[in-house]
Amino acid sequence: HSCKQPETPAHTNVVGMDLPSHGYTLIYTCQPGFFLAGGTEHRVCRSDNTWTGKVPVCE
């Protein structure tokens, strides 16, 4: 994949993996004590080098 890894938001953990059905996917989880208040948990690298979804917000 040729997407540039976006900055990891505060209170967030991110794992990148190649999913056969989607391509390169970032999977975000909130750190203990925080919850996903906005944005998307999964972001997929598109062929035009942009990411699907929005920056996740954990609070």
Distance CA 6, CA 26 (A): 10
pTM value is 0.89
How is residue 2 written in tokens?
A: 């040729």
pLDDT band at 1 (very low <50, low <70, confident <90, very high): confident
Q: Is the pLDDT of residue 39 over 90?
A: yes
Q: Band the pLDDT of 43: cuts 50, 70, 90.
A: very high
Average pLDDT, the chain: 96
First-residue to last-residue Cα distance in the chain: 30
Phi, psi of 31 (to 5 degrees): -70, 160
